[in-house]
Structure 1
Amino acid sequence: MFTIGDFAHLGRVSVRMLRHYDATGLLPPARVDPSTGYRFYTAAQLQRLNRLVALKDLGLTLDQVRVVLDEELPVEQLHGMLSLRRAELRQQIAADTARLRRVEARLRAIEREGTMPADEIVVKPVPAVRVARLSATAASYDPQDIGPVIQPLYPQLFERLGRAGVTPSGCGIATYEPAPGDEVLVHAGVTVTVEPSPSYGFEVVDLPALTEAATVVHRGAMDDVDVTYQAVAAWIEAHGYKQNGFAREVYLNYGEGDPADWLTELQLEITKP
Structure 2
Amino acid sequence: MTDPTPWMSIGEFARACRLTVKALRYYDREELLTPGRVDPHTGYRYYAPAQLATALRIGLLRRAGVSISSIRRIVDDPARSADVLAVERARIEYEAERALRSLALVGSLEAIAATALPVRLRHIDDQVVLWREGSADADDLDRTVAASIENLLVDAAVLGVDTDAPVVGRYPVVLEGTVDFGVGIEVAADVGSEAVLMPGGLFAAVDFTGPASLLPVAYHALFAELAARGVEAVGPVREYYLTDPAEVGAENMLTRVVHHVSDPDSKPSTSPQ
Q: Number of residues paired by the alignment? A: 190
Aligned match of 1:23: none
Given candidates 175, 197, 203, the residue that maps to 2:192 is 197
Q: Contact between 2:205 and 2:256, CA under 8 Å: does it hold in 1? A: yes
Q: Contact between 1:215 and 1:266, CA under 8 Å: does it hold in 2? A: yes
Aligned match of 1:94: 94
> Displacement, 1:176?
2.6
What's the C-alpha RMSD, in Å, of the aligned pairs? 3.6
For structure 1, the residue ranges without an aligned partner over 5 or more in a row are 1-55, 62-77
SS at match of 2:169: strand
Q: Contact between 2:209 and 2:251, CA under 8 Å: does it hold in 1? A: yes
SS at match of 1:162: helix
> Displacement, 1:59?
6.4
Q: How many percent of aligned residue pairs carry the same amino acid?
A: 18
> Displacement, 1:251?
1.0
Structure-1 separation of matches of 2:83 and 2:92: 14
Aligned match of 1:149: 144
Which amino acid in 1 is paired with 2:235? Answer: G
Which amino acid in 1 is paired with 2:187? Answer: V
- CA distance 1:86–1:189, shift in 2 (3 Å): closer
Aligned match of 1:69: none
Q: Contact between 1:132 and 1:190, CA under 8 Å: does it hold in 2? A: yes
Structure-1 separation of matches of 2:257 and 2:155: 26
Q: Give matches, 1:111-260, under 5 Å.
A: 111=110, 115-117=114-116, 120-140=118-138, 144-168=139-163, 170-176=165-171, 182-198=177-193, 203-211=194-202, 213-256=203-246, 257-260=248-251
C-alpha deviations, 1:51-110, integer Å up to 9, x for none? xxxxx999669xxxxxxxxxxxxxxxx99867764653443232233355557768866x
| Structure 1 stretch displaced more, 90-99 or 153-162 | 90-99
Aligned match of 1:266: 257
> Displacement, 1:191?
0.7
Structure-2 separation of matches of 1:251 and 1:223: 14
C-alpha deviations, 1:157-208, integer Å up to 9, x for none? 22222222333472111113589x843321111111123424xxxx301111
Q: Contact between 2:210 and 2:254, CA under 8 Å: does it hold in 1? A: yes
Which amino acid in 2 is paired with 1:129? Answer: Q
Q: Give matches, 1:54-93, under 5 Å.
A: 85=85, 88-93=88-93
Aligned match of 1:39: none
Which amino acid in 1 is paired with 2:115? Answer: M
Aligned match of 1:36: none
SS at match of 1:185: strand
TM-score between both structures, scaled by the size of structure 2: 0.57
Q: Contact between 2:171 and 2:237, CA under 8 Å: does it hold in 1? A: yes
C-alpha deviations, 1:245-273, integer Å up to 9, x for none? 1221111113223222110111111249x
TM-score between both structures, scaled by the size of structure 1: 0.57
Which amino acid in 1 is paired with 2:98? Answer: A
Q: Contact between 1:126 and 1:209, CA under 8 Å: does it hold in 2? A: yes
> Displacement, 1:243?
2.8
Q: Contact between 2:207 and 2:255, CA under 8 Å: does it hold in 1? A: yes
> Displacement, 1:237?
1.4
For structure 2, the residue ranges without an aligned partner over 5 or more in a row are 1-55, 62-77, 264-273
- CA distance 1:245–1:58, shift in 2 (3 Å): closer
